Each structure stands twice: as structure tokens, then as C-alpha cells.
Structure 1
Amino acid sequence: MNHLARHRPIIFVWENFGPLHVDRCEALARDVPEIPVIGLEILSRSSDYDWISESSNSFKKITLSSPEERDPWSPWKIISAIASNRPQAVFFCHYQRPEILLAAFMVRALGIKTFTMNDSKFDDYRRDLWREAVKTFFLLPYQGALAASQRSADYLRFLGIQRHHIALGYDAVSVSRIRHLANSAPAPGGEDFANRHFTIVARLIPKKNIALALRALAILARANKPRRLVICGSGPLESELKALSQDLGLSNLVEFKGFVQTEEVCRTLATSLALILPSTEEQFGQVIPEALSMGVPVLVSDNCGARDHLVKTGINGFVFEPSNAEGLAFFMRLLSSSESTWTEMAKAAADSASLGDVGDFVNGVRQLLGAVSTQAKSRPRSPRL
């Protein structure tokens, strides 16, 4: 790590710190102990998730505001907190926010290495040319980017970030933490095949496309191949999905658990036959590497960014179109009916868990800092904003 300044911290900026953010900061603090790691949390509570904001003894966490404050995203608070800690590098999330844009420009002007973290893909939804042009301006202050998937990296290149200044590993998880919280051996160990259920971990919102999974389960039930489905998540579609489940005759097969914290998610995965993620829009699909950590095969739509490098069809899971209930039902029936097929895929899932581990996040940070340091040595002049 000779391209890093010893004892000058690296700061990571997120809206709120859930368990996955802690995973990443802990991994860097553990693997590079001579560099202090600081987590800068804008809000004390997430605007999207009901998780409990987490801390760690491995790194310093700073919380700037509560959501109830008049200006919780104050760029001046963000800039002040960063400048007072004199970091060598700052990694920002939420590049699309004007407050983060201003903070990133100021940080770059102070001579601090400035990066963005992103998991968006070009194919998330229909793109507008002028909106994409504006995004290129919002990315101007950044010297590089930490991307979640290959499609995410391709999108960042489209928006103007150089190929050799993009690294993968953003949405990595701690495999060891997930297995510890699950308190069970990864599949095919643990729960017996016959007692396992399908699992969905997602917010109950339209883009998660959970109705498709219910329809696929109904196809299995009509073919006398019933399996339980456990749904972890809350959201505005809860009543509608419960009504659909009842209309499809699935009331005795579907359990809506509501939002659960990460420990309960891990324990639910430990008893799962397969994870289902049928999203019509999914930047990455964070639960996919979590499921693989527990040896759980994954059934995911081709919109999920994580399938780029984590899912191998016929090996550790299957990829399907998000409009294809019959195709999803076919894969569900295959895993549900053949214990030998499921066992082989569960072994492959557990073996592939390392592909999504937090070590990739650390490697991505190293790669970006090294690339920027090398460029600075070859072109020793002040950055042009």
C-alpha cells in the first residue's frame, strides 16, 4: 500500500449505515490497519430501510443529522466534517444529489482524492439523453468510481469515467458475518431438504415484481409440487400482495414476515431452498451474495446487476425474464423436486460465495487509490475541475 499516506484516514460517505456498510468499512480497517477508516453517516435513520443504524469498534463513525432537522443534507456540514479529519481520500455515494456534488467539488479542490460509489446500470429503465448529459456534469469532480457490477462499470464509462479508474467490488458483503448470524452450516448442510422453503427478501414495491413469484408458486401448487414461500419485507403493496396470495389459493403456503433485521434474514436464508428475486428493475440485488453465503441457490431476473459475476445458470442458480412466470415455475419445480440437483447447486452456491465477499471491496479501494496515485506521478499538475 505504498500509494497510501500512512495515518491519514479514508472517509466513506453514505446516507445511513446499515450492516452492509459496516461490513465494508470493517474489512478495510482490518486489512489495512495502518490507515484509519471513517464512516460519515448523513442521517441517523435511513429514508428507505428500517434497519438499525450500526457502528463498530474497527472504525470511527460520524453522524451528521437526524431526518427531522431542517436541512439534514447540509453540504456545509458534510464539507466541514471531511475537512476537519484531513483525509487522503473520500468515497461518496449519492452522486446525483446537489449537496454531494458541491461537497465533492470542494473536497477535490482541497487536493483530496475523490471517488464515487455506484451500482446503477444503463438498463435499469428507459434513459433520457438530456438527463444523462446532466449526469456527466454531476460526475465531474470524481477521479474514479467503485462499481457494483460489470454493467454498472459500463454505465460509468458511458458517463465519462475512464475505464482504468473504475474498480468492482462496491456491493460486497461479509460472508463470515452472514454465516455467524445464521448460526447454521451453509447448505446443503443445516436444514433438511424436505423442510426448506423458497425465500424473497425485498421491499414490497412494484419494481420488485413479487406478484410474479406468487403466480409461479401457484403453478407449482396446481402441479401438486407445493413448497412454502417466506417473504421478508414491508412496503405499500403488502395488502395487495396478501390479497393476490389469497386469490391464488396460496394462503397456507405464503408467509409475510414483514421487515426483519439482518440477523433474522440470515436465519431465514439458512432454512431456504432457493432465493427468488424477480425484479423488473434491480441495480444489484444485495441479497444475492447473502444467499450464496449460506449455500442457497438463487433464482433471479436478468435485470439484477449481481448476476453479471455471481450467478452461473445451471451451476449456482438460474436467470429468467421478469415477465416469465412459467419459466420461474420451471426452475422452482426443478429445485423443489430433485434433491440431488439442489444439493449440487447448493454446494456450488457456497463455493461461489467468495466472489461477493468484502475482500473485493478492499481490493477495489486499493486499485482506485493506486490508479490515481500513478496518474498523479505521471502528470504532476493540479486537477482541472
Structure 2
Amino acid sequence: MGIELARHEAEYAWQAKVEGLPFKVVSVIENQQLEEVSSTQLLQRLYAVLSQLKPDVLVIAGYARPAMLATLLWSLGNQKPAILLSATKKDDAPRSWWSEMLKKWILKHYKAALVGGQPQKRYLIELGMPAEAIFLGYNVVGNESYHPKKIESLPLLVERPYFLTVNRFVPKKNLLFLISSYAAYRQEAGSNAWDLVLCGDGALRPQIEKYITELALQDFVHLPGFLQQDELLPYFAHAHCFIHASIQEQWGLVVNEAMAAGLPVLVSNRCGCFEDLVIEGINGFGFDPDNSQQLTDLMLKVSLGQIDLAKMSHAALEHIQKFSPDYFAQGLIQAVEYALAHR
């Protein structure tokens, strides 16, 4: 049984497709955006849904939102074991002693956790959760939707070879840094340079457009805007390499998507997925998101024939197969069994 707080929200304008799923999805807020509903209304409706459904185990997405903490309280009051879904790692943000103590207290009330990878597991262990209660597989996508053979016939929307990135246009995604690194790359690569496609939208778009103009990159940097998954697929299908330059990222599911499309990846070493997904020199490379020259050099290396792109593409596709919905399901089953055995 899936319980979603709302079908729509302003911050992430994805269109959810729940028709035909082999399980029921219940929306706490059905006909409004999440941001339009007061916290009091949301929690009242959430408790009504939980009391009606009477779940045996609750799998709760993090502890940052009040609604998730309220669900944990419901589980404690009704003596139902709770499992934490977490993509948080220690270096996501500056940590204070009092907030870490509060987290340790909260975590004592979960029986198990399902996390993305090794950095996320280490952080929960540091916060006091037993290692044997933490399972892997949280951060996955439906790889088959992106498989190169499935999307290769989609239309070619950019004529020249290109690097691809997909982000919200917000500061932590480090897009001005990426554009600056790309400008230096173009100067060195000359007529052999690839284009750059930035899919997404957000508050920084005017600043990004101005910066592209200042650097005279209008003919080479493409801004197709915010796109739904089906609209993104042609860009994944024909890209030559994917870049994710965030300075702070719990995981970065878009890297999963890029690898599932068979793309070599250049990934900031501060992304939560970096340790588990990127095999240095095999399916991609990591870089310091404060070191522009390092990213510029990697762009040159990838685009000027210094590596076997086809081999790297195959390695990316092969490695991401483990990180599948089945991997999520296996980890969740293990977490549920552990939670039931230790309630």
C-alpha cells in the first residue's frame, strides 16, 4: 500500500502515473498542491488515513518533514514497527551537536532502515543504528525505461554531440560552475568541442541565461526547460556523456537514469551516489565541485578520443543493473523481516 502526502507539489512538478499499478496508492491530499494545505490539515488527514488503513509495518521517507515524524508517532502509539527510508549522509550539511543528539533519539524509534548506499549506511551507524538493521537498495529507478535499445529511435533534438545535465536551477546544483568549466573547455577544444544541454528550470534561470550570454555560449548551450520523463528520454538517448556537478546531493537519481541510458558519467564527489555508482575510469569519473579546471580536463578527456567511450558506456549500463526496483524490493523485504523479528 502506497500512501502519498499529495499527488502534486510546486517544488517538484512531476506528473505521477499511478494507473495500472499492482497495488493501491492513497493520496492524503487529493485535489490540491501540497504547499496549499496547512500543516494542521495535512496531519489531521494523515492520521485519518493511517487509522483507516491500519498498516502492520510503516516504511517512512525520512524524518525531516513533520508528516513523517507524525507517522512515526502513530506507529509508536499503535505499536507497529517503523522502517526508515534514508538518503542522508554525514557531509550533506554542517552538523551541530544538538541536532545530531536529536537525530539519535529519533532513530531509536525505528526498527530498521533502507538506505541508498555505503555513505548513508555509515551515517546511520554513527547515529547509533545497528549495522545489521540497515539494508541497501533505496535509491533506484526503473532502468528498463531508459535502456539504450528502447530509446535509440527517439528523435535527435540536438544536431551536434553534447554533454547532458538534468537539474532544478537552484544554487546547490552548481550550474554556474558547470557553465564556467564548459566555457574553458570550449576554448581548449575549439571546433571539436561538444555542445552542452541543461534540462530543467528554476529560480536561477535568468542568472544562468545572462551568464551564457556573457560568455558568448548561446549557440552551444541549450536550455530546453523543465521536461517530464518522456520528454527527457530523447536527450538521454543521444547524449554522449552525463554531468552532475552538485555541491550538495543526498543521492542524485538522475545519475542512475543516465547510466541506465548507457551514458558515461562525470559526477561530483559530493553526490551521495558517487561511491556506489561511479567506478573511476571504468564507467565514469568523479571531480571536486569546487575545482573548475578538473571538470574542464575531464570534459576534454571524454570528448577528444582519450578514452573508449563505447566501453565506458557499456560499463555504465552493466553496473546500474544491480540498482533496480528488484534490489529495492529485496532490501525492503529484509528490512521488514528484521523489523518484525525485533519489535
TM-score when scaled to structure 2?
A: 0.91
Aligned: 1:214 with 2:179: yes
Which runs of structure 2 are paired with 1:93-172 in the superposition (5 Å)? 93-172=61-140
* Alignment map for 1:328-343 (pairs within 5 Å): 328-338=295-305, 341-343=308-310
Cα distance, 1:261–1:220 mapped onto 2, change above 3 Å? same
Alignment of 1:281-320 (within 5 A): 281-320=248-287
2:23 matched residue in structure 1: 59
> What is the DSSP-based 3-state SS (H/G/I as helix, E as strand, rest coil) of the residue aligned with 2:5?
strand
1:334: Cα distance to partner? 1.4
Q: 1:305 is paired with a residue of what secondary structure?
A: coil
Task: Confirm or deny: 8 A CA contact 2:83 2:339 kept in the other structure.
Answer: no
- Number of matched pairs: 335
Give 1:80's match in structure 2, choosing from 28, 40, 48. Answer: 48
Deviation at 1:61, TM superposition (A): 0.9
Structure 2 counterpart of 1:220, which letter? Y
Q: CA offsets per residue over residues 163-220 of structure 1, 9 Å max, x none?
A: 111111111111112338962279xxx98xx943101101111111011211121122
Q: Which of structure 1's runs of 4+ aligned residues deviate more than 4 A?
A: none
**Could you tell me how far apart the structure 2 residues matched to 1:52 and 1:327 are?**
37
Cα distance in 2 between the residues matched to 1:81 and 1:299 = 43
CA distance, structure 2, for counterparts of residue 151 and residue 109 of structure 1: 32
Q: Is the 8 A contact 1:281 1:304 kept in 2?
A: yes
Q: Is the Cα contact below 8 Å between 1:146 and 1:167 reproduced in 2?
A: yes
- Partners of 1:39 and 1:103 in 2: how far apart? 13
Look up the SS of the partner of 1:44 in the other structure: strand
- Alpha carbon RMSD of aligned pairs, Å? 2.3
SS of aligned partner of 1:198: strand
Identical counterparts, % of pairs: 27
* Aligned positions of 1:244-323 closer than 5 A: 244-323=211-290
- Provide the residue aligned with 1:17 in structure 2: none
Matched-pair contact (CA < 8 Å) for 1:75–1:100: no
Decide whether the 8 Å contact of 1:289 with 1:353 is kept in 2: yes
Distance of 2:299 and 2:41 partners within structure 1 = 44
In structure 2, the residue matched to 1:9 is none
Give the whole-Å Cα distance in 1 for the aligned partners of 2:57 and 2:233. Answer: 33
Asked if the contact 2:148–2:261 (Cα under 8 Å) also holds between the matched residues in 1, the reply is: no
Distance (Å, rounded) in 2 between the aligned partners of 1:300 and 1:95:
27
1:237 aligns with 2:201: no
How big is each residue's C-alpha offset from its partner over 1:82-129, in whole Å with a ceiling of 9 and x where there is no partner? 232232221111412333223212223323221111111111121111
Q: With the length of structure 1 as denominator, give the TM-score of the two structures.
A: 0.81
Verify: 1:174 aligned to 2:142, yes or no. yes
Give secondary structure in 2 for the equivalent of 1:282: coil
Letter of the 1:49 counterpart: Y
> C-alpha separation between the residues in 2 aligned to 1:338 and 1:116?
45
Given the alignment of the two structures, is residue 197 of structure 1 paired with residue 165 of structure 2, yes or no?
no
SS at match of 2:197: strand
CA distance in 2, matches of 1:315, 1:243: 36
- Looking at structure 1, the residues matched to 226 and 234 of structure 2 have their Cα atoms a distance apart, in angstroms, of 14
Amino acid at match of 1:227: W
Q: Which amino acid is the alignment partner of residue 50 of structure 1?
A: A
CA distance in 2, matches of 1:151, 1:78: 31
Structure-2 separation of matches of 1:340 and 1:152: 31
1:44 is matched with which residue? 7
Query: CA 1:180/1:348 → structure 2, altered by over 3 Å: closer, same or farther?
Result: closer
Deviations 1:322-358 (A, max 9, x none): 0111111111111111186211111111111213211
Q: CA deviation at 1:241?
A: 1.1
Instruction: Name structure 2 gaps, 5 residues minimum.
Output: none
Structure 1: gaps (5+ residues): 1-37, 377-385
